[in-house]
Amino acid sequence: MSRTPMPEHGISHEAVLRILREARSHDMDLTKARINVLVPYPTDDVFDMGADALRMFSRENAYFAKLMPSVGKVQQELLDYALFLQNAPEQAGAAITSGGTESVFSACLAAREHFFAKNGSIGTPQILAPRTIHPAFHKAAHILRMKVVCSDFDSDFRAVPSSIAQSITKNTAMIAGSAPQYPHGVFDPIAELSELAAKHDIWFHVDACVGGYLSPFAERLGRPIPVHDFRLPGVWSMSADLHKHGYAPKGISTILYRDAELLKYQSFESSVWPFRTYRSGGFRGSYPAAPIAGAWAILTHLGVDGFMRQAAELMRARDRLMAGVTAIDGMQIFGNPQSSIFAFGSDVFDIFAVADRLETRCWISFKLQEPRGLQMQCDPFADEIVDAFLADLRASVGEVVNQKG
């Protein structure tokens, strides 16, 4: 494969933008995607607010926030918002990360270092979790020389605390659960896992990457969101992505700790460098201020009432989609999803064949392997989008059933 050479002579500003516009013309229009699972999208007004803030802080390096009060201000206030939404105690602390994977990595690193500080190097530190836990935990364990010990889930795809309890050993450094988990959109029994972790004095992490900036508002709307945050005394840390239902520009997430003292376990310091002592509060050194400013702008612009409106529209669209799916003969929802994600399938016809037909009608389909089904992550879809999807879903099912017959 031939490589594209770097131009010998630069080209004009307008020519560069023309090339980029041409390249983008072949992409899906994410702002108008029919079922938008790739980039959660609020209104044009909210998106523009975030984009304006991005441009304003496009050159700043947040590593030097102490030297730039404006960066320090938006970063600290954004973290304060996160701690407020997760009902964190006064002594809690938090940090910005690049996404859910880094947030999970940071929590695993902190739990490992805390385990070593408490127990010494007595063996391979273990993470206990259900099989539905995000692969980011496996990735973190691979890098950190930890081990994920997975237990099975129940008929509703939720973690089984008794199974996790049976796996506890002297090497258990962390227990983890999801709120909600990604494959089926159901909440693990976080309260029971919290009690289990507290009983054995084990670090308990709640992965709320998907729901962290939706659940607080859905709960205020009266939705049956299980308590899963720092109101549970056994919760030590949480991960929550701002670039999902916080609608912030990619990529930005948050890692939150019950006690700010726990932040030291994800930090790094070295004094061997001739330049000066190097300190980093997380995995990254330099990191951009632009996503922080964009997230802060959107959360500040919308406020609690704006996010509640977004949550209400999202959940209404989700309810209509789920009702439309279950109205189709032979179709079923998996488990009891309570957030933006749900999965569905059929024991009567080939759901993957249905997905293939949906894709010919320009609907994105995420195929779920266990059980065979389709997974959907909802946004505040307009009624006409929901109606169009359900009509095409019914048509696709009809084609598969008639072909089978």
Beta-bridge mates of residue 159:
153
**Phi-psi map region of 157: left, alpha, beta (phi>0 left; psi -120 to 50 alpha):** left
Residue 227 pLDDT: 98
> Which residues of the chain does CATH 3.90.1150.10 include?
304-404
Q: Round to whole Å and give the CA distance between 226 and 218.
A: 11
Percentage with pLDDT > 70 across the chain: 97
Residue 358, pLDDT above cutoff 70? yes
Contact 187, 178 (CB under 8 A): yes
CATH 3.40.640.10 for domain 50-299: yes
Residue 206 pLDDT: 98
Beta-bridge mates of residue 368:
373
Decide which of 177 and 35 is more confident: 177
Contact 183, 157 (CB under 8 A): yes
Contact 349, 403 (CB under 8 A): no
DSSP 127: E
3-class SS of residue 283:
coil
E strand or H helix at 240: strand 237-241
Task: Provide CB contacts within 8 A for 321, sequence distance 6+.
Answer: 342, 376, 378, 381, 386, 389, 390
Residue 82 binned pLDDT confidence (cut-offs 50, 70, 90): very high
Nearest in space to 206 (alpha carbons), one of 297, 73, 111 = 111
The pLDDT tens digits of the residues spanning 127-157 come to: 999 999 999 999 999 999 999 999 999 999 9
Across 166-174, average pLDDT:
97
Residue 34 pLDDT: 59
The pLDDT tens digits of the residues spanning 27-80 come to: 876 655 556 555 677 778 888 889 999 999 999 989 888 889 999 999 999 999
Residue 83 pLDDT: 98
Determine the straight-line distance between the first and last CA of the chain, rounded to whole angstroms: 47
Residue 33 pLDDT: 55
> Which residues of the chain does CATH 3.40.640.10 include?
50-299
Task: Provide CB contacts within 8 A for 320, sequence distance 6+.
Answer: 383, 386, 390
Q: Round to whole Å and give the CA distance between 258 and 90.
A: 9
The pLDDT tens digits of the residues spanning 309-356 come to: 999 999 999 999 999 999 999 999 999 999 999 999 999 999 999 999
Residue 303 pLDDT: 96
The DSSP result for 305-364, as a single string, is HHHHHHHHHHHHHHHHHHHHHHTSTTEEE-S---SSEEEEEESSS-HHHHHHHHHHTT--
Q: Is the four-CA dihedral 281, 287, 291, 293 of positive or negative sign?
A: positive
Residue 382, pLDDT above cutoff 90? no
Nearest in space to 304 (alpha carbons), one of 391, 398, 187, 214 = 214
Q: What value does the mean pLDDT of the chain take? A: 93
Q: Round to whole Å and give the CA distance between 317 and 76.
A: 34
The pLDDT tens digits of the residues spanning 235-289 come to: 999 999 999 999 998 899 999 999 999 999 999 999 999 999 999 998 898 999 9
Nearest in space to 34 (alpha carbons), one of 359, 403, 271 = 359
Tokens of 107: 């929590």
Residue 295 binned pLDDT confidence (cut-offs 50, 70, 90): very high
Nearest in space to 255 (alpha carbons), one of 81, 63, 100, 40 = 100
Q: Round to whole Å and give the CA distance between 356 and 403.
A: 14
Query: CATH says 304-404 is which class?
Result: alpha beta
Nearest in space to 354 (alpha carbons), one of 398, 397, 403, 402 = 397
Across 165-175, average pLDDT:
97
Contact 241, 212 (CB under 8 A): yes
In this structure, the strands spanning 147-151 and 126-130 are parallel
